[in-house]
Chain A
Amino acid sequence: SQQGEEDPQALSIQEGENATMNCSYKTSINNLQWYRQNSGRGLVHLILIRSNEREKHSGRLRVTLDTSKKSSSLLITASRAADTASYFCATARNQAGTALIFGKGTTLSVSS
């Protein structure tokens, strides 16, 4: 299975601190995407990084991709209480008829 694995499963930090989540996967990919899910809500797309990219930024988010190690990291800087959510990585293979494969997620709690 190509299922991604996030690490850690749960993370608790204080407001203002940085949060780093990691994702590992098993097969070659076309792209890797990060999603956020607030409790009881649907998933919201955060950022997509393609296999030929190594780093991407979006506001307070920084994503890296290391295809040699089959891993990615999501860094949230200067975290806020509103960042409290579950974060999922999802990988896409370079193959028609395939779907995004989601990891098990990291639950982030940011306390004020």
Chain B
Amino acid sequence: DTAVSQTPKYLVTQMGNDKSIKCEQNLGHDTMYWYKQDSKKFLKIMFSYNNKELIINETVPNRFSPKSPDKAHLNLHINSLELGDSAVYFCASSQDGTSGPYNEQFFGPGTRLTVL
């Protein structure tokens, strides 16, 4: 069974469109994350949620809106896509609480977003 899954794996879209990426974890973890990995492989945190509550919201444009319907799911919606949004987006989860990232994180396979 896949521990952290993301859909879709590939997403190609035009500038200005709105798209969503879904993430689900079956590990029973309380905390989930979204990361962005750019073309140089630099990985940066975007958001984290603990038990459906937003914990971390880095300096990400407000075109990006995470939504956590329950603690096993954390979806990422992106409005008005721009060329610079092209990247690989990773979802992750961990058993961490709100005190900090003190345990290992489990990553999904990634969603490669290409904005044309």
| A interface residue numbers (CB < 8 A to B) | 30-31, 33, 35, 37, 40-45, 48, 86, 88, 92-102, 104-105
| B interface residue numbers (CB < 8 A to A) | 4, 33, 40-45, 48, 55-56, 58, 90, 92, 98-110
B92: which A residues are within 8 A, CB to CB?
Answer: 43
Subset of 24 A-B contacts with CB under 8 Å:
A30-B102, A31-B102, A35-B107, A40-B110, A41-B109, A41-B110, A42-B90, A42-B107, A43-B90, A43-B92, A44-B107, A45-B104, A48-B104, A97-B55, A98-B101, A99-B48, A99-B58, A100-B101, A101-B45, A102-B42, A102-B43, A102-B44, A104-B42, A105-B41
Task: Give the CA-CA distance A86 to B110 in the complex, in Å.
Answer: 15
Q: Judging by beta carbons under 8 Å apart, are B44 and A98 in contact?
A: no
A98: which B residues are within 8 A, CB to CB?
Answer: 56, 100-101
